[in-house]
């Protein structure tokens, strides 16, 4: 697969080819993802929950994003890497948004940034795009506004809300976004938005009518065992496989069967007599 770019992703939409995206936060996982043909990777601020154990994404900082983002980019070759802008890194002013988007790209080497909000952040999107940075928007259920929504709830239900979500999509497209995550939006509305925009729509809990899909990698592999969102599917039971490996290791260490002789680098090159001498001396 060739390196994915804004142009190739937009081409995929035009040709009716689906776009795959997963979240990723570290080098080792990224090396595995690279071998599987996934088109794009999101260094999501969901790392606040999946990697740091917070209840929401709100505590994640720019410094956190940069540390995780750099690790992902080191493992990426062909996938297009999108960096999430964390809470309060772009809401204060347009200038703050451009500075922080620039830091994310300059310090990690990623390909694009993602920010939450529709019409409310159109000035920020326009300025970031004008600075030469591709933008993925994120509308519908935007987790950084969890306290406004009163929980992680479906958005766009009812006629007025549905029209507002469509208007948000049109606003972020007009501002220059080339891609847009639609999170927890009713499927028919997500399909309508996908039809109305040229941006690549990436759904999560938004049905099959989007141009592509994103899932948090721990949700799709079964590594996250705390909670499985309704929209996630386990494509493997890696959490169970990891637990089996940790248990087997624990048993072998405690039973003295690991490490065996073949796991040592150098067979002792000192004679038994010399080692006996050391035993006596110390």
Catalytic residues: 183
Closer residue to ligand KIV (CB): 218 or 274:
218
Compute the least distance from the CB of residue 219 to ligand KIV, in Å.
Answer: 9
CB of 116 to ligand KIV, least distance (A): 8
Query: Phi/psi at 117 (nearest 5 deg)?
Result: 115, 150
Residue 183 C-beta: closest distance to ligand KIV, Å: 6
The residue (of 97 and 130) whose beta carbon lies closer to ligand KIV is 97
Question: Measured between alpha carbons, how far is 92 from 62 in angstroms, rounded to an integer?
Answer: 14
- Judged by CB, which is closer to ligand KIV: 44, or 75? 44
State the CB neighbour count (10 A cutoff) for residue 197.
Answer: 19
Query: Closest CB to ligand KIV among 226 and 250?
Result: 226
Shortest distance (Å) from residue 217 CB to ligand KIV: 9
Report in angstroms how near the CB of residue 244 gets to ligand KIV at its nearest: 27
Q: Which residues bind ligand KIV (CB under 6 A)?
A: 23, 42, 44-46, 84, 138, 181, 183, 204, 214, 216
Q: Between residues 109 and 229, which has the closer beta carbon with respect to ligand KIV?
A: 229
């Amino acid at each position: 697969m060739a390196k994915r770019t804004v142009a190739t992703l937009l081409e995929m939409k035009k040709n009716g080819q689906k776009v795959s995206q997963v979240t990723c936060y570290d080098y080792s996982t990224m090396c595995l993802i690279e071998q599987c043909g996934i088109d794009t990777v999101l260094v999501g601020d969901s790392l606040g929950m999946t990697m740091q154990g917070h209840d929401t994404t709100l505590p994640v900082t720019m410094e956190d994003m940069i540390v995780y983002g750099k690790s992902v980019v080191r493992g990426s070759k062909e996938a297009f890497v999108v960096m999430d802008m964390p809470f309060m890194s772009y809401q204060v002013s347009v200038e703050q948004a451009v500075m922080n988007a620039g830091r994310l790209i300059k310090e990690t080497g990623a390909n694009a940034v993602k920010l939450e909000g529709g019409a409310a952040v159109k000035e920020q999107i326009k300025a970031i795009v004008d600075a030469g940075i591709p933008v993925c928007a994120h509308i519908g259920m935007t987790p950084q506004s969890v306290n406004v929504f009163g929980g992680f709830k479906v958005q766009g239900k009812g006629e007025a809300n549905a029209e507002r979500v469509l208007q948000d999509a049109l606003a972020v497209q007009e501002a220059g976004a080339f891609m847009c995550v639609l999170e927890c939006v009713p499927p028919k509305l997500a399909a309508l938005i996908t039809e109305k925009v040229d941006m690549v729509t990436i759904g999560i809990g938004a049905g099959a009518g989007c141009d592509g899909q994103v899932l948090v990698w721990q949700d799709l592999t079964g590594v996250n065992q705390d909670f499985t969102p309704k929209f996630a599917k386990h494509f493997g039971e890696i959490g169970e496989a990891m637990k089996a490996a940790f248990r087997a290791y624990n048993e072998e260490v405690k039973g003295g069967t690991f490490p065996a002789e073949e796991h040592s680098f150098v067979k002792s090159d000192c004679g038994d007599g010399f080692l006996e001498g050391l035993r006596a001396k110390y």
